[in-house]
Structure 1
Amino acid sequence: MNDVGGPAAGTLVAFHAHPDDEALLTAGTMARAAAQGHRVVLVVATDGAAGLADESTYGARGEQLAGTRSRELAASARALGVARVVELGYADSGSGEELWPDPPGQTRFVRVPLEQAAARLADVLAEESPQVLLTYDANGGYGHRDHVRVHEVGAAAAAGYRESTGAPLRVLEATVPRDTICRALDLVAKVYRFPPEFDRSSFDRAFSARAEITHRVSVRRQVRAKRAAMRAHASQASDGDGGARTLGMLLRIPRPLYDLVFGREWFRDPDLPAGSPVRDDPFADVP
């Protein structure tokens, strides 16, 4: 499954919580797979309408912002070579301590029954017959409730797909070695000031231990595409007070340092035994 294009090319489905998550976590791997001739499908669970944005430019939280973020998602997908985008349309669950009521006509992602959301993702898997599914680790990265739900829904959908079809499916949980991201954030903090809502200490408990990493994918050749995908999500680069948010801060990193920080992406395969050799190719050893 390592050949470029031709009959050996496969399909990769990337499942994400919000528009812009794909740019931050798996954009390089998606762009690399597309460049190698694999079909890449992007599935996004929520509309991202609870995200912070400059309301004077992008509209208040709600339907107007959701439309903006959908258009940004499409632009990001084009930059990465994605063949198909599926928006499940659940309401963004937000990141505050209190879970907001459901908006009219929608259900917040974390309130959707697990089996219902998993069935919708499994339908996409049945349509695409992928060899690889990208989701999140059990921590949901930094712990956002929608990210944790992506992990749960992805695992349930993969299990249902395997049971119903008997087809093999590699599940790779997007993550980052904790020590690596903390070291990178500390380095960035020497040059840039993160926004007040950014909790650096939360990353000490986030993502996965280095020993759990099974795939370390080099995406240095895809850094330009990854940066373009991040730029596509302009509404998430600044807040309503004119300050830069995390995405905006990351885009200000000088290119050599950016290439160093974002030149690799990491994944955990929960089906591989501990101590397995770390792989570089998501399609390696896939039947």
Structure 2
Amino acid sequence: MTTIVAFHAHPDDEVLMTGGTLARASADGHRVVIVVATDGIMGPSEPRRMDELRASAAILGVHRVVHLGYADSGHGPILYPDPPDRTRFARASVDEAASRLAEILREEQASVLLSYDANGGYGHRDHVRVHEVGARAGELAGVRVLEATMPREPLVRVQRLVRLLRIPVRYDPDVVVYSPRSAITHRFDVRRFARQKQAALAVHHSQVSGNGRPATIMRVLVKLPVPLFGILLGREWFVLRG
């Protein structure tokens, strides 16, 4: 059996991008570790979101959770000053963060590192930095890197429809997102783990009960019948780096 380390930007990302894959790997007998760059908190550190992550990890069968020690950088045109107790991840040295992650990879004798594609999915600065740090850590530790992504083409069609209908969106519709189908090397069918993935998402109470469009979407997702949830989020995609 192997050890798989999943590197994510914030608590809740582990479910949305790789939750089914982690549950499947654990069920197959592999050791699974989640490393988050940030605790998802913009201000001084507090345990709420990390506690939610540990609850999510337990549902997915994850064996260990590690926080690299950085603060959330936020999404939008302003990169706020660092909180008094730690550095925002977007300001972290790639080599320093990669060295921290590589140390965990060596300690765990990991065979595979899950990270993010070059666009950081939808372009969040912390997700882009996860890609950069993950790629470097894989090189330092000599570990294969699978970069979590989604097929770009369906999302581009949605973007065109949004523009045509003049629907206001939070993110710039011209930003290049995720990866083209031709670049995707692995697609996992994780529908049989839909119940675990949905339950893991539901324990991120701070995000599900929050304000704004992402919270509204998450509330809808956690209330869906499990078979429908599985249809929507029952596949996960990766690009094998190199």
With structure 1 as the length reference, what TM-score do the two structures score?
0.76
| Percent identity between the two aligned chains | 54
| SS of equivalent residue, structure 2 residue 78 | coil
Residue 192 of structure 2 corresponds to residue 227 of structure 1: no
* Cα distance between partner residues in 1 of 2:215 and 2:65: 28
Residue 74 of structure 2 corresponds to residue 94 of structure 1: yes
Q: Which of 177, 193, 207 is residue 206 of structure 1 equivalent to?
A: 177
* Cα distance between partner residues in 1 of 2:157 and 2:48: 33
2:147 aligned partner: 173
1:135 aligned partner: 115
Q: CA deviation at 1:205?
A: 2.4
Structure with larger Rg:
1
Aligned length: 238
1:83 aligned partner: 63
* Cα distance between partner residues in 1 of 2:88 and 2:236: 29
The structure with the greater share of residues assigned to helix is 2
Q: CA deviation at 1:199?
A: 3.8
Q: For structure 1, list consecutive stretches of 5 or more residues without a partner in the other structure.
A: 1-8, 51-60, 163-168, 190-194, 272-287
Q: Aligned-residue CA RMSD in angstroms? A: 2.5
| SS of equivalent residue, structure 1 residue 245 | helix
1:165 aligned partner: none
* Cα distance between partner residues in 2 of 1:102 and 1:196: 30
* Cα distance between partner residues in 2 of 1:46 and 1:247: 20
2:93 aligned partner: 113
Residue 30 of structure 2 corresponds to residue 20 of structure 1: no
Deviations 1:234-266 (A, max 9, x none): 111133489943322332444333211111100
* Cα distance between partner residues in 1 of 2:127 and 2:241: 17
Q: CA deviation at 1:213?
A: 0.5
* Cα distance between partner residues in 1 of 2:152 and 2:228: 19
Q: CA deviation at 1:196?
A: 6.8
What pairs up with 1:202-281 in 2 under 5 angstroms? Answer: 205-240=176-211, 244-271=215-242
1:44 aligned partner: 36
* Cα distance between partner residues in 1 of 2:232 and 2:101: 31
Q: For structure 2, list consecutive stretches of 5 or more residues without a partner in the other structure.
A: none
- 1:15 is aligned with what amino acid? F
